[in-house]
């Protein structure tokens, strides 16, 4: 909505277009043309538009990188510790607060449906999964490690680097040694 207003449209014009079925409301403040092809990653795109500083993490990042068979029922989103959590009505979102160093490490920017979406790299995502293993479940973490090992070029040194940043290297090392 803010983009449309900046380009000269009024709120009432947007509401009229929505009432006539020309555009649809995806989330609060986010609209799209009805005749556009469907969005490939609607939840991730919506969250990226609403929370541009946030980073997709944990189960959502595992699913994005194809390191799990689970389908996330909510978007896992990392924000810096001390910042206010976003208020999103749709999609369902679970917010995790990360310290400054852990928040900044391993961020990749992907363009999904022409929208920049920030997602943690697979190695950082594995370290985060170990850090939050009690919340997401150890079975999911072990599944992700197996899928990661099956990749063409797994980089276990990078995984250990991010594990040190997340302070889980001692917990993670035995699992990585068993895989190698």
pLDDT tens digits for range 23-34: 888 777 778 788
Shared domain check, 125 and 53: yes
Residue 38: pLDDT over 80: no
Whole-model pTM? 0.84
Across the chain, what does the average pLDDT equal? Answer: 91
C-alpha dist (Å) from residue 154 to 8, 73, 146 = 49, 27, 11
Whether the CB-CB separation of 77 and 56 falls below 8 Å is answered with: yes
Same domain assignment for residues 75 and 89: yes
Looking at the fold, whether 96 and 44 belong to one and the same domain comes out as: yes
Q: How many Cα atoms are found within 13 Å in the side-chain-facing hemisphere of 29?
A: 12
Determine the pLDDT at residue 30: 79
* Residue 74 DSSP class: S
Q: Which domain holds residue 14?
A: 1-36
Asked if 7 and 51 sit in the same domain, the reply is no
CB atoms < 10 A from the CB of 118, how many?
20
């Amino acid at each position: 909505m803010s983009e449309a207003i900046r380009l000269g449209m009024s709120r009432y014009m947007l509401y009229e277009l929505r009432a006539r079925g020309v555009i649809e409301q995806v989330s609060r403040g986010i609209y799209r043309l009805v005749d556009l092809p469907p969005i490939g990653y609607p939840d991730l795109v919506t969250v990226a538009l609403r929370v541009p500083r946030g980073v997709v993490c944990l189960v959502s990042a595992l699913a994005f990188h194809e390191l799990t068979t689970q389908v996330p029922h909510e978007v896992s989103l990392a924000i810096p510790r001390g910042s206010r959590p976003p208020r999103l009505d749709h999609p369902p979102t679970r917010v995790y607060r990360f310290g400054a160093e852990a928040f900044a490490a391993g961020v990749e920017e992907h363009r999904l449906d022409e929208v920049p979406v920030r997602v943690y790299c697979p190695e950082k995502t594995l370290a985060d999964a170990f850090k939050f293993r009690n919340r997401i479940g150890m079975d999911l973490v072990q599944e992700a490690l197996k899928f990661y090992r099956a990749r063409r070029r797994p980089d276990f040194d990078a995984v250990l680097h991010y594990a040190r940043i997340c302070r889980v290297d001692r917990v993670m090392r035995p699992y990585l040694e068993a895989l190698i």
